[in-house]
């Protein structure tokens, strides 16, 4: 029995983007009964936990990241009874469930916002209201971050869409309200939360007096995130969450600086930060990958590992050029490297990006915002579309039609399919502690061949990946390991079309 190990350190997560994972009632939108119907699939694959994106009542301007009632299920996704069934089925299958919690902002349809607009005393300071626009801050989508509201006769602040008003975290009432929300879901038995954009909380009134700087014509978000006082709020949320046994608190920390990311993680803060230094790779570069791994080691980060999420293009298209052998190597890395892996729905099949042909394909708020902003600035439709296409996050959000993938389950699919490889890797990770929690030994990149070792106690595992995809015959001789090359040491080999090994996991002791 491993001592003092929190379950999440041993777990592979699978992101379920509720609107597009599985449609249980044939209305074209994913829903909770759909998710429940796939639990057996996830169990067979060997997933340890799912992260469920927002399914609360919402106008769905940002696919549920604009919550209008945190304590109810949006009827398009199902009912509270459907949620209870989903949670029960997952737990029965040994799969934990963490739910996304959007506490930085609410939908402008939320009762709090409506009452705040009416200037009702209790709700007056729930949001950030100013008589005049106080700074140059831009929304993280496109355009200004301040919107005029007629009823109140003031501007309110929104870091994302104008329908997502930011809560005023310098008001202690907000913490109290949010704790109630978390308590509600903890009492239901969820295993934890993913806190959306948690380093964006507006906790410092003074920060609003400062303008963000610009670099190369683009605003740099400096004062509108990582504000003084945010960690205290997170600590209070963490204390509540961890007062329930065996819970996990993950926070999405939008920042490039590893020290900053790490500063939100700790005993009394987040258990882990969802950060983007691997996910934000635009094109494949193993040297960049190694550099990131080494930097994360140096910063003492226990990283979250992912190449895809609902906010980016799928890595099968973006990084692999839709080449399955390459996708196999990325899976090999994700599931043997140090950190907490987060798989994104469908990467195991593998799914490719959807193609955006014209402006009617722009469903995502970020893409639509960019498009409309350019049109209103007089830019032509074609040019506006080609810019907005790059901002849109629709690529990885197409509804999965599972009928096309019936054969692609770990048990049905062919031995050498990608789905099957995910299953095998998940199994290996469960079997070998060194893969789950081992420290890195040697990490080398020679040419396009990456080699690393991980060890835990006496257990030593070596992983080799040849990103040239040319592979080698039997063993990666260039590595010159002293040990004899015995077939039985090989835990898993990935071969290319010509039968050469391109990926290898070996047991060294």
Query: In terms of CB distance, is 99 or 293 closer to ligand GLC?
Result: 99
Which residue among 57, 87, 102, 178 contacts ligand GLC (CB under 6 A)? 102
Interface with ligand GLC in residues 209-238 (CB under 6 A): none
Which residue among 62, 147, 466, 506 contacts ligand GLC (CB under 6 A)? 62
CA atoms of 194 and 197, how far apart (whole Å): 9
How many residues sit close enough to ligand GLC to count as binding (CB under 6 A)? 9
Q: Does residue 74 sit in helix, strand or coil? A: coil
Check: CB of residue 461 under 8 Å from CB of residue 336: yes
Query: In terms of CB distance, is 39 or 195 closer to ligand GLC?
Result: 195
Token pair, residue 377, equals: 């600035």
Which residue among 197, 327, 352, 370 contacts ligand GLC (CB under 6 A)? 197
Distances (CA, A) of 128 to 148, 168, 219, 473: 12, 5, 21, 63
Query: In terms of CB distance, is 116 or 309 closer to ligand GLC?
Result: 309
344 binds ligand GLC (CB under 6 A): no
Q: Does residue 371 sit in helix, strand or coil? A: helix
Query: In terms of CB distance, is 369 or 432 closer to ligand GLC?
Result: 369
15 binds ligand GLC (CB under 6 A): no
Minimum distance from residue 63 beta carbon to ligand GLC (Å): 7
Minimum distance from residue 105 beta carbon to ligand GLC (Å): 7
311 binds ligand GLC (CB under 6 A): yes
Minimum distance from residue 208 beta carbon to ligand GLC (Å): 20
Minimum distance from residue 344 beta carbon to ligand GLC (Å): 12
Q: Is 46 left (phi over 0), alpha (psi -120 to 50) or beta?
A: left
Nearest-CB residue to ligand GLC? 65
Interface with ligand GLC in residues 239-278 (CB under 6 A): 252
Distances (CA, A) of 466 to 196, 423, 427: 36, 21, 22
3-8, long-range: CB < 8 A, 24+ apart = 5/437, 6/248, 6/271, 7/48, 7/96, 7/246, 7/248, 8/49, 8/192, 8/248, 8/250, 8/271, 8/272, 8/340
Minimum distance from residue 293 beta carbon to ligand GLC (Å): 24
Order the strands of the 154-157 sheet from edge to edge. Answer: 129-130, 154-157, 146-149
Minimum distance from residue 195 beta carbon to ligand GLC (Å): 10
Interface with ligand GLC in residues 128-167 (CB under 6 A): 160
CA atoms of 242 and 110, how far apart (whole Å): 28
Contacts with ligand GLC by CB under 6 A lie at: 62, 65, 102, 160, 196-197, 252, 310-311
């Amino acid at each position: 029995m491993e001592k003092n190990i929190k379950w999440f350190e041993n777990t592979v997560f699978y992101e379920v983007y509720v609107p597009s994972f599985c449609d249980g009632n044939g209305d074209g939108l994913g829903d909770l009964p759909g998710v429940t119907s796939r639990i057996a699939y996830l169990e067979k694959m060997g997933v340890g936990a799912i992260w469920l994106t927002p399914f609360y009542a919402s106008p769905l301007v940002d696919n549920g990241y604009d919550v209008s009632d945190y304590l109810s299920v949006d009827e398009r996704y199902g009912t509270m009874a459907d949620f209870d069934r989903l949670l029960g089925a997952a737990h029965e299958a040994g799969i934990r469930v963490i739910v996304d919690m959007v506490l930085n902002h609410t939908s402008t349809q939320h009762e709090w916002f409506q009452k705040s607009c009416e200037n009702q005393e209790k709700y007056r300071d729930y949001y950030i209201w100013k008589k005049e626009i106080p700074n140059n801050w831009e929304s993280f989508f496109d355009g200004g971050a301040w919107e005029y509201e007629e009823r109140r006769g003031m501007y309110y602040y929104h870091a994302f869409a104008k329908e997502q008003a930011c809560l005023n975290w310098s008001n202690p009432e907000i913490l109290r309200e949010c704790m109630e929300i978390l308590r509600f879901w903890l009492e239901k038995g969820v295993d934890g939360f993913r806190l959306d954009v948690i380093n964006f909380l507006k906790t410092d009134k003074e920060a609003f007096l400062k303008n963000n700087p610009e670099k190369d014509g683009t605003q740099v978000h400096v004062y509108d995130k990582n504000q003084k006082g945010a960690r205290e709020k997170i600590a209070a949320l963490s204390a509540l969450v961890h007062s329930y046994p065996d819970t996990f608190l993950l926070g999405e920390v939008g920042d490039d600086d590893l020290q900053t990311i790490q500063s939100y993680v700790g005993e009394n803060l987040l258990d882990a930060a969802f950060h983007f230094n691997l996910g934000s790779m635009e094109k494949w570069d193993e040297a960049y990958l190694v550099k990131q791994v080494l930097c994360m080691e140096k910063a003492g980060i226990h990283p979250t590992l992912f190449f895809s999420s609902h906010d980016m293009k799928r890595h099968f298209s973006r990084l692999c050029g839709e080449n399955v052998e390459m996708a196999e190597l990325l899976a090999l890395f994700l599931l043997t490297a140090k950190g907490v892996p987060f798989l994104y729905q469908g990467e195991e099949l593998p799914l490719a990006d959807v193609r955006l042909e014209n402006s009617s394909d722009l469903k995502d708020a970020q893409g639509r915002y960019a498009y409309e902003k350019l049109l209103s600035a007089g830019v032509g439709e074609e040019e506006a579309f080609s810019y907005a296409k790059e901002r849109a996050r629709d690529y990885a959000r197409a509804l999965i039609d599972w009928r096309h993938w019936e054969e692609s389950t770990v048990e049905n699919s062919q031995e050498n399919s990608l789905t099957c490889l995910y299953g095998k890797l998940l199994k290996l990770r469960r079997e070998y502690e060194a893969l789950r929690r081992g420290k890195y030994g040697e990490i080398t990149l020679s040419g396009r061949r990456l080699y690393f070792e991980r060890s835990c106690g006496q257990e030593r595992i070596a992983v080799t990946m040849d990103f040239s995809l040319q592979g080698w015959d039997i063993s990666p001789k260039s590595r010159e390991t002293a040990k004899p090359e015995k077939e039985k040491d090989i835990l898993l080999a990935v071969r290319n079309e010509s039968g050469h090994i391109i990926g290898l996991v070996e047991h060294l002791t």
